[in-house]
Structure 1
Amino acid sequence: MDTTYVHGYAAPEARRLGDQADTLAGLLHAGTAFPAGSRVLEVGCGVGAQTVHLAARSPGARLTAVDVSEASLKEAAARVTGVDFRHADLFDLDGEYDHLFVCFVLEHLPEPEKALAHLKTLLRPGGTITVIEGDHGSAFFHPRSEPAQAAIDCLVRLQADAGGDALIGRRLYPLLAGAGFADVVVEPRTVYADASRPALVTGFTRDTFTAMVEGVGETAVARGLATAGSWARGVADLHRTETFHYTFFKATGRTS
């Protein structure tokens, strides 16, 4: 699978992933728990930020987590125990599982349709898949800022140039249905932060979303998508937002 992780693998990104997973655990993992003894595969586990919450909510499940980055897997293994971590490319995976969990992975793939079709072959009859993705087009904030919006648009552009789709959340239903999954259901999971919710302001607006945008600044400026000045203004305006809204999409489906 030839793809580029637009956010990179440096230590700040690992911290951001952890902040994101911990802040949004209740929102994103609500309704997801796997039976004791069931075989569960997490695809693209990265540094194990989501794996921690999967394992905690399904303590009796037999959890396998895979990723293409050996360095990330080492961090994941240090973060959570009792999980079978494996170094593997998505398209090289085999075996049979009862459930698949795929979080923030499809957005980075040039052919998410092919990825889902292959993943479907790993599920037993009646097995389930859970997919979670964001959609940067759902980011709304006050006060309105053209430089901040331009910075977000740069991230969307960089991800597209790397073969991904930062707006993929809105596509989950047709993607899963097109791959042949049955009983596909997609639910929006919305984050809204203002001064009355300081934990979300810190954990999501600042340490997750703004940190994600800020992290690609050097690349955006080097590629001529923004000037250093306009980028700095955009990031500063994101830090100054008084209200912030973002929608994730959580999809489930099963094999027939």
Structure 2
Amino acid sequence: MDTTYVHGYTAPEARRLGDQADTLAGLLHAGTAYPAGSRVLEVGCGVGAQTVHLVARSPGAHLTAVDVSEDSLDQARRRVPGVEFRQADLFALDGEWDHLFVCFVLEHLPEPEKALAHLQTLLRPGGTITVIEGDHGSAFFHPRSEHAQAAIDCLVRLQADAGGDGLLGRRLYPLLADAGFDDVRVEPRTVYADASKPELVTGFTRDTFTAMVEGVGETAVANGLICEADWARGIRDLYRTTREYGAFHYTFFKATARRTPGGAS
């Protein structure tokens, strides 16, 4: 599996992932709780930012979390003691599980269809998968700024160049259906932040989304996608949305599906 991660494995990125998970825990994890004794596999756990919330909501489940990066797993083990963490490539995974949880992983893969088809073979008949992805095309904000939009577009282009898709959220239904899953359901989970919601302005608009875009600036300029002055203006304008009369909107997509009972393995 291609392990290119457009955001990199830096300490600031690890902090951003933690800020994002903590700020959005109620939004993204609402409705996700696994029965005591069930076997749950988190695919692509990274630094354990989402693992914390899986454990909190399903304390009696048997959770195993895997990732390709041993450095990320070391951080995850420190963040969430007591969870079984393993280094593994998605396509090398085997075993049989009651539930799968996949968050912010498919957007980085060159062939998410094949990944989902393989993941289906890991589920017991009737077992469930939960997939969460963002969609950078859902970002809109006030004050409007062509420079800010250009900076976001650079991130989308860099992710595409790395084999991923920053607009994957809108594709979850066809991806899961084409992979053979049954009972596919997709819900938008929308973040809207303005001065009346300061915790979201700080935790999401500033420390999650803007930090994510800002983190690819050096690469965007080096690759000739944008000039340094325009990039700086775009980032300034994104930060401007966090001020008194600014507003920011973004949509995540959360999908659930089942492995068809009696489906081929």
Q: TM-score range by the shorter chain?
A: over 0.9
- In structure 1, how many angstroms separate the alpha carbons of the residues matched to 2:81 and 2:131? 23
Partner in structure 1 of residue 254 of structure 2: 250
- Contact kept, 8 Å, 1:3 with 1:162, in 2: the verdict is no
Is 1:172–2:172 an aligned residue pair? yes
Q: Secondary structure at the match of 1:193?
A: strand
Amino acid at match of 2:115: A
Matches within 5 A, 1:89-238: 89-238=89-238
Structure 1 residue 65, shift from structure 2 partner: 0.2
Instruction: String of CA shifts for 1:205-225, please: whole Å, max 9, x gaps.
Output: 000000000000000000000
Aligned to 1:83: 83
Normalised to the residue count of structure 1, the TM-score between the two structures is 1.00
Query: What's the % identity of the aligned pairs?
Result: 86
Question: Is 1:50 aligned to residue 54 of structure 2?
Answer: no
- State the AA in 2 paired with 1:252: T
Aligned mates of 1:56, 1:110 — CA distance in 2: 32
Q: How many residues align?
A: 256
Report if the CA contact (8 A) 2:127-2:258 is conserved.
yes
The 1-side partners of 2:82 and 2:35 are apart by 16
SS class of match (1:189): strand
Shift >6 Å, 4+ stretches: none
Instruction: State the one-letter code of the partner of 2:251.
Output: T
Alignment gaps of 5+ in structure 2 = 261-265
- The residue that corresponds to 1:69 in the other structure is 69
- Note the residue ranges of structure 1 that are not aligned, 5 or more in a row: none
The code of the aligned residue for 1:137 comes to: G
1:3 offset after TM fit, Å? 3.3
SS in 1 for 2:24: helix
- Whether the 8 Å CA contact 1:152–1:213 is kept in 2: the answer is yes
Distance in 2 (CA, whole Å) between partners of 1:96 and 1:255 is 12
Letter in 1 for 2:96: E
Letter in 2 for 1:81: P
Contact map agreement 1:3 1:163 (CA 8 A) in 2: no
Write the distance in 1 (CA, Å) between the matches of 2:176 and 2:187: 13
